Chains A and B, each alone.
Chain A
């Protein structure tokens, strides 16, 4: 079956504009995660969805960042009024529920550049 897909693969925007990043998880995976990977930084957790609800939003860096998930499937990460420090690769991952198996499968990422 298909893996996690993300779109667009690259996004260049101007400072102050809003952007939307999309994630399609593996079919049947109930859990979905967003991470950010910046130069010189490791992967940083942003938000976790279980179904359509987000029990852990602790990694969102500011209120300019928001995310939603609909139909227990596709998720959109929105960044409002983008800043240059938002430039990074945004990675989405999904996993299935299981007592011991929590491995997360990652998509290829969206590279965001804010000019």
Chain B
């Protein structure tokens, strides 16, 4: 069964303090790994798709990387507006659905 585990569950940082969020996964043939951002009371907002080990993508202060077993979301010099829950999901080659992790709730203090 496809599975995604995210750590930590919650992370508190000071503004400007860089860190990484982890997403470990098992999947029967990876089609893609997805990162989403979710603000309270809203639907998930798409950030990145990664397709193969070694791939990296960047957007502003965020960089996502992928290995055969895990993905990292690196956040560099975060700002308070980066506070949100970050969700990781995998899509298997034989399926259309996304399998999500429980998310990491990130808080950036000014």
Contact = CB atoms under 8 A, between A and B. Distances in A.
Given A103-B49, A106-B43, A43 B100 contact: yes
Q: State which size class the interface on B falls in.
A: 20 to 34
Interface in B49-87: 49, 51, 87
Given A42-B102, A42-B103, A43-B87, A102 B96 contact: yes
A58 B1 CA distance: 13
B99 A103 contact: no
Q: State which size class the interface on A falls in.
A: 20 to 34
B72 to A, nearest CB: 19
A106 B45 contact: yes
B43 A100 contact: no
Contacts, number: 60
Q: Which of A33, A42, A44, A91 has the most C-beta atoms of chain B within 10 angstroms of its own C-beta?
A: A42
A93 to B, nearest CB: 8
Interface string A74-115: 000000000000000001010000001111111111000000
A91 B91 contact: no
Contacts of A67: none
A56 B94 CA distance: 11
Contacts of A41: 102
Contacts of A31: 96
B97 A43 contact: no
Given A102-B32, A103-B34, A103-B49, A48 B96 contact: yes
Given A43-B87, A43-B89, A91-B43, 7 more contacts: A41-B102, A42-B4, A42-B103, A45-B97, A102-B96, A103-B46, A109-B42
Interface of B: 4, 31-32, 34, 36, 41-46, 49, 51, 87, 89, 91, 95-103
Top 3 A-B pairs ranked by shortest CB distance? A106-B43, A45-B97, A43-B100
